[in-house]
């Protein structure tokens, strides 16, 4: 009996998730493109062959343009899908979050290309998990402890975050670095813990205003990035999202110009390319810092900006959705 192509088989469950039983029956009959070719001369009619060919082409296109699981297909499509992630910080109540989620879910259907996520306070993870399971919106947390369990009062581990269905976790946010003294080493171990638990770390890097004024932006950002790369290796960077967040732009209403942001994003990508062209081409680099509907489009249109990490504007469904729409 002919074995189906292993790659094709590994992709099939996801394909069936989206396409339904009818297509599943078609593919069960002709297990893979190579099997399909062999069988075509024997039993498949011309019409059947054409139908299956259309499905294979449609499947490939969907891999490139559709929701996150399809873009994870290794080697299928290196294109970077934009990501817009909300960082709710320490905001919200049960009621306000229900209201916010109502608004986001009502409008999410019009977001065609971007992946959308919200990073929420720990205590609301259950609520968010209940409301967002089965929707197009992913969720995550805003920090993670590097230990898996034990006597770490007040801390939350990666396995706990997985328990609540988190996909993302922010690490190294400037508020954690500056207000809570998280060092570069702390950020690296948290990053490593996230990966170890199958979470996608959103690694925040960015310079203070005085560092920018002294022309130290690239040096600071490179140092923050290198501290993680040295610990986890370049391949692990291919499994994360990087967020360039100039500290002077966070929550201040001052936004980096598209050129200022693009310069740093390009520098980050070039730095990664020096270690791995493949990782540099794949990794998504978000901009964060007072991104709003009015400035999102021109920022996200820059070559190396693959979306946004959104603080204040992610607390209003209308603004958040407009930013998502600006990302595609
Ligand atoms: C942030 O906290 O990551 C952020 C970008 O905040 P804001 O959009 O409010 O500047």
Our count of domains for the chain comes to 2
Render pLDDT for 187-208 as a digit per residue (tens, 0 to 9): 999 999 999 999 999 999 999 9
Task: Give CA–CA dist 52/269, Å, rounded.
Answer: 39
Domain shared by 164 and 307, yes or no: yes
Task: Give CA–CA dist 327/53, Å, rounded.
Answer: 32
Q: Is residue 4 lining ligand 1, measured as CB closer than 6 Å? A: no
Q: How confident is the model at residue 110 (pLDDT cuts 50, 70, 90)?
A: very high
Identify whether the C-beta of residue 169 lies closer than 8 Å to the C-beta of residue 142. yes
Task: Give CA–CA dist 328/109, Å, rounded.
Answer: 12
The CA 253 to ligand 1 mean position distance, Å, reads 9
* Ligand 1 atom at minimal distance to the Cα of residue 292: 8
Q: Which of 140, 289, 296, 307 to mutate to test the pocket of ligand 1 (most atoms within 8 A of CB)?
A: 289
Domain shared by 161 and 213, yes or no: yes
Task: Give CA–CA dist 271/294, Å, rounded.
Answer: 30
**What is the pLDDT, as a whole number, of residue 2?**
35
What are the Cα distances from residue 211, in Å, to 248, 252, 290? 10, 17, 19
Domain shared by 19 and 130, yes or no: no
- Locate all alpha helices (DSSP H) within the chain, ordered by sequence: 6-19, 21-29, 33-40, 46-65, 68-71, 94-107, 125-132, 158-163, 174-179, 184-196, 209-213, 217-232, 234-237, 258-273, 277-282, 293-300, 317-327
Q: What CATH number is given to the structural domain containing 117?
A: 3.20.20.70
Domain shared by 48 and 105, yes or no: no
Average pLDDT, the chain: 84
Identify whether the C-beta of residue 113 lies closer than 8 Å to the C-beta of residue 65. yes
In a domain, 76, yes or no: no
Verify whether residue 245 is a known catalytic residue. yes
In a domain, 281, yes or no: yes
Average pLDDT over residues 2-16: 34
* Ligand 1 atom at minimal distance to the Cα of residue 250: 10
Specify the range with the lowest mean pLDDT, choosing from 64-68, 160-164, 187-191, 254-258.
Answer: 64-68
Expressed as residue numbers, the domain containing 315 is 83-327
The pTM score is 0.78
Domain shared by 104 and 16, yes or no: no
Render pLDDT for 82-109 as a digit per residue (tens, 0 to 9): 999 999 999 999 999 999 999 999 999 9
Domain shared by 168 and 307, yes or no: yes
Q: What is the 3-state secondary structure (H, E, C) of 125-149?
A: HHHHHHHHCCCCEEEEECCCECCCC
- More confident: 238 or 73: 238
Render pLDDT for 257-302 as a digit per residue (tens, 0 to 9): 999 999 999 999 999 999 999 999 999 999 999 999 999 999 999 9
What are the Cα distances from residue 240, in Å, to 30, 169, 258? 36, 10, 23
Domain shared by 37 and 182, yes or no: no
Render pLDDT for 215-269 as a digit per residue (tens, 0 to 9): 999 999 999 999 999 999 999 999 999 999 999 999 998 999 999 999 999 999 9
Q: Report CA 204 to chain centroid distance, whole Å.
A: 13
**What is the pLDDT, as a whole number, of residue 79?**
76
């Amino acid at each position: 009996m002919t074995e189906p192509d292993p790659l094709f088989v590994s992709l099939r469950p996801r394909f069936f998730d989206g396409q339904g039983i009818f297509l599943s029956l078609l593919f069960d009959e002709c297990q893979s493109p190579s099997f399909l070719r062999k069988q075509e001369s024997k039993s498949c009619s011309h019409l059947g062959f054409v139908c299956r060919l259309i499905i294979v082409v449609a499947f490939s296109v969907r891999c490139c343009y559709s929701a996150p699981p399809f873009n994870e297909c290794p080697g299928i499509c290196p294109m970077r899908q934009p990501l817009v992630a909300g960082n709710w910080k320490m905001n919200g109540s049960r009621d306000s979050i229900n209201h916010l989620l109502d608004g986001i879910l009502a409008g999410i259907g019009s977001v065609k290309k971007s992946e959308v996520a919200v990073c929420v306070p720990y205590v609301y993870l259950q609520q968010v998990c209940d409301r967002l399971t089965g929707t197009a919106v992913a969720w995550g947390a805003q920090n993670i402890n590097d230990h898996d369990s034990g006597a770490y009062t007040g801390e939350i581990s990666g396995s706990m975050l997985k328990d609540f269905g988190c996909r993302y976790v922010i690490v190294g946010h400037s508020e954690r670095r500056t207000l809570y003294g998280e060092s570069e080493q702390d950020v690296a171990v948290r990053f490593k813990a996230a990966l170890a638990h199958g979470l996608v770390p959103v690694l925040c890097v960015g310079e203070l205003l005085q560092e920018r004024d002294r022309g130290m932006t690239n040096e600071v950002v490179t140092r923050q990035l290198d501290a993680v790369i040295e610990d986890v290796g370049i391949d692990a960077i291919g499994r994360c999202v990087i967020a360039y967040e100039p500290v002077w732009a966070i929550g201040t209403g001052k936004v980096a110009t598209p050129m200022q942001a693009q310069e740093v994003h390009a520098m980050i990508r070039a730095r990664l390319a020096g270690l791995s062209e493949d990782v540099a081409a794949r990794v998504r680099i978000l901009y964060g810092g007072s991104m709003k509907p009015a400035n999102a489009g021109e920022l996200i249109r820059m070559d190396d900006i693959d979306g946004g990490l959104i603080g204040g504007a992610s607390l209003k469904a209308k603004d958040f959705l407009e930013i998502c729409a600006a990302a595609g």
